[in-house]
Structure 1
Amino acid sequence: MRYWRRVVFTAWAVLCLAPPLSLPFALGQERQVHGENSSFVGEGVAMVWGVLRGANEESTHVILRIAPASGGYAAVSLDGVDPFTQRRQELVAMQPLGNRVDVRTPRATFADLPRREIHFFTANDQHAQRPSLTVYFLGLPDTTPEFPSEAALGKYLDDTLVKLLAGKGRTP
């Protein structure tokens, strides 16, 4: 008799407790992934960071090239976040992802808003204004190379993206 009580209790516990524990996944809440490197491929997206040096810090820009890698994402946006105050600023409004998007921000913005959150939206997510995926970086990755010209930076971004999409890049 005790055996059957345990079986019934276990079945009841699984049926009652499992749905609330899986509720966030059922509601389609976003996944958050730490990007951590200057080149990233995973979760259906590929990204490469590069710095275009200017004459001074104010004219130095960070470029993030983003491309789909079979993830089914239709749009992308980018926020800068202060990790201490949680102040958030939209740096790039939601825009179509297409074949690739280049995001250009002044390097000086990393001083006040070091955390970068790149939000990816499926076609359904766009209407709900809620991303399916967020890849975050806790500042400009240390391995990000700097270039003196647009041509050198563009070549690096193109070549690295090709390697990432061919499966030869670093994954999270």
Structure 2
Amino acid sequence: MITRLVAAILLCLALPAAWAAERIHGADAHYASADVALEWAVLRHADEDRTEVVIRVLDRSGKGLHLLVEGVDPFGGARTTFAAARPVAAGADIVVPRRLLADHPSLELHFAAGADALAAGRPAFTIYYLGVPDTTPEFLDRAAMEAYLAGKVRP
């Protein structure tokens, strides 16, 4: 009887972990899975305050994924929304002024089948970065950056 009770308690404790969204550490400027493809780039400007971090995102799943991007302060845990929930089926560019990453350097890209799940805090999976990947190329020209991204992110 006690053994069954202990087993039932352990099962109940394990269920929330099973329901939790998968967290994937994105370490490089390029990420690809069966669900999504990501490519990072930096577009530099003469005025550093205008320099942009660009993440091109493509839904490869055919599930109509939506994306929400948050910046996170790794020390205090404060969060800010860098990109509101949006569909990414045909691709989406997330553009964040690099100066904003000073206070919220960690980025979390939350994916779900719809905006409602994201609004409820229930992403299907999250790809997180602890900062702009070291392998991210920097460009001085928007056309060169666009050509690079177009050649990297494909369905």
Superposed CA offset, 1:78-127 (max 9, x none) = 00011001110011111112211101111111211100000101137256
Measure, in 1, the Cα distance between the counterparts of 2:141 and 2:59.
Answer: 26
**2:88 matches 1:101:** no
Q: TM-score, normalised by structure 1?
A: 0.79
Kindly indicate whether the alpha-carbon contact (under 8 Å) linking 1:31 and 1:134 is maintained by their aligned counterparts in 2. Answer: yes
Counterpart of 1:23 in structure 2: which amino acid? Answer: L
Structure 1 stretches (4+) deviating beyond 6 angstroms? none
Measure, in 2, the Cα distance between the counterparts of 1:15 and 1:135.
Answer: 33
Q: In structure 2, what is the equivalent of residue 169 of structure 1?
A: none
Q: Percent identity?
A: 36
Tell me, which stretches of 5 or more residues in structure 2 are unaligned? none
Q: In structure 2, what is the equivalent of residue 132 of structure 1?
A: 124
Superposed CA offset, 1:56-79 (max 9, x none) = 211111100001122625210100
RMSD in angstroms over aligned alpha carbons? Answer: 2.3
Q: TM-score, normalised by structure 2?
A: 0.87
Q: 1:147 aligns with which of 139, 148, 153?
A: 139
Which deviates more from structure 2 when the two are superposed, residues 64-73 or residues 101-110?
64-73
Shift of 1:21: 4.5
Kindly indicate whether the alpha-carbon contact (under 8 Å) linking 1:51 and 1:60 is maintained by their aligned counterparts in 2. Answer: yes
Aligned length: 154
Which deviates more from structure 2 when the two are superposed, residues 146-155 or residues 35-44?
35-44
Counterpart of 1:142 in structure 2: which amino acid? Answer: D
Query: Within 5 A, what are the aligned runs for 1:46-125?
Result: 46-70=37-61, 72-123=63-114, 125=117
Kindly indicate whether the alpha-carbon contact (under 8 Å) linking 2:108 and 2:127 is maintained by their aligned counterparts in 1. Answer: yes
Measure, in 2, the Cα distance between the counterparts of 1:110 and 1:126.
Answer: 22
Which deviates more from structure 2 when the two are superposed, residues 117-126 or residues 84-93?
117-126
Query: Which has the larger helix fraction?
Result: 1
Measure, in 2, the Cα distance between the counterparts of 1:113 and 1:79.
Answer: 9
**2:50 matches 1:34:** no
Kindly indicate whether the alpha-carbon contact (under 8 Å) linking 1:45 and 1:71 is maintained by their aligned counterparts in 2. Answer: no
Measure, in 1, the Cα distance between the counterparts of 2:77 and 2:50.
Answer: 27
